[in-house]
A and B are shown apart, each in its own frame.
Chain A
């Protein structure tokens, strides 16, 4: 090895040592990109242990049913969420995943919560249909109770001859507060359960 080769090796070694010395300071300024950021939303039936979950399906008037609703934050920072609880019949539109548009239906009630990154929240949602009118080929729900609070609604469904029932869908839309535009935005996630509301036998 001649002198100029040795000089090059020596300079490289010094540069590497310099970078090592600077690393703690650089770490304060440089932020490496994290993984994918997203929010989880789930809905379990009362029997979480079984894979089927035993989601309520055939529901009677004035009977209380329960499901477990949950969120986990993977957004890399504290997030402020709200979940809108909505009820649709077979003709109402679902939220549009493709265009990220929420359902235009008015919410029955809502949940609001803040979650730190990596934290999750789960709550049992109790619901019952308290005032339902069954007419000729149609049913009208006038009152629903969600987690102890009663709400007056007017939601009708026509008799489904194929499914032999009055079908409704109870669904939960996830909204997240966007601090850049200072408003809640639909997070393009919702979970739902189909319900066949039946008369008490």
Chain B
């Protein structure tokens, strides 16, 4: 009975220690400027990669309106993170830049998928347009040739059927 009580005491003491430690840990080991800079750089890279993906998707003809809106949220988070870092609030700067990085990565994945769809659709359009132009040119060439021969034959026939005009002289 006594052993059980002492064990309970030790467990309670251990739990209490863990709680106190979790409270004081961030105060003892705060995020420093280097960690914040690393996090900001990562977020910056994620955002620029996402921007490049969105830009390429836009050029391929995809609808990127909602992606730009989402990326604007990530950009605002990164701007806030830079502000917090400048004012020495590194913990929050890291938190904001991490969220920005995550949002930007999601946008990049979506933009790449949309770019691929838009590219396929553009290729399809190009193929159909080229095929239609090819058929149109062939039809024009052969019908043009046929029409030309027909007109030439008709012209010659008309010339041959002409009778020389005679005029009385004197």
A interface vs B, CB < 8 Å? 3, 6-7, 10, 14, 17-18, 21-22, 24-25, 28, 77-78, 80, 82, 107-116, 149-152, 177, 179, 182
Contacts and interface: CB of A to CB of B under 8 A. Distances in A.
B94 interface: no
B48 A182 contact: yes
A171 to B, nearest CB: 17
Contacts of B59: 77
Nearest to A28: B126
B48 A112 contact: no
Given A3-B152, A80-B48, A114-B71, A149 B83 contact: yes
B65 interface: yes
Contacts of B90: none
28 contacts: A3-B152, A14-B140, A14-B141, A18-B140, A22-B133, A25-B126, A25-B133, A77-B59, A78-B51, A78-B68, A80-B47, A80-B48, A80-B51, A108-B86, A109-B79, A109-B83, A109-B86, A110-B82, A110-B83, A112-B79, A113-B72, A113-B75, A113-B76, A114-B68, A116-B58, A116-B68, A149-B84, A179-B51
Given A113-B76, A116-B58, A116-B68, A21 B83 contact: no
A2 B129 CA distance: 38
B55 interface: yes
Interface of B: 47-48, 51-52, 54-55, 58-59, 64-65, 68, 71-72, 75-76, 78-80, 82-84, 86-87, 122, 125-126, 129-130, 132-133, 136-137, 140-141, 144, 148, 151-152, 155
Contact of B133 (A21, A77, A151): A21
A33 to B, nearest CB: 16
Contacts of A10: 144, 148, 151
Given A24-B129, A25-B130, A78-B55, A112 B75 contact: yes
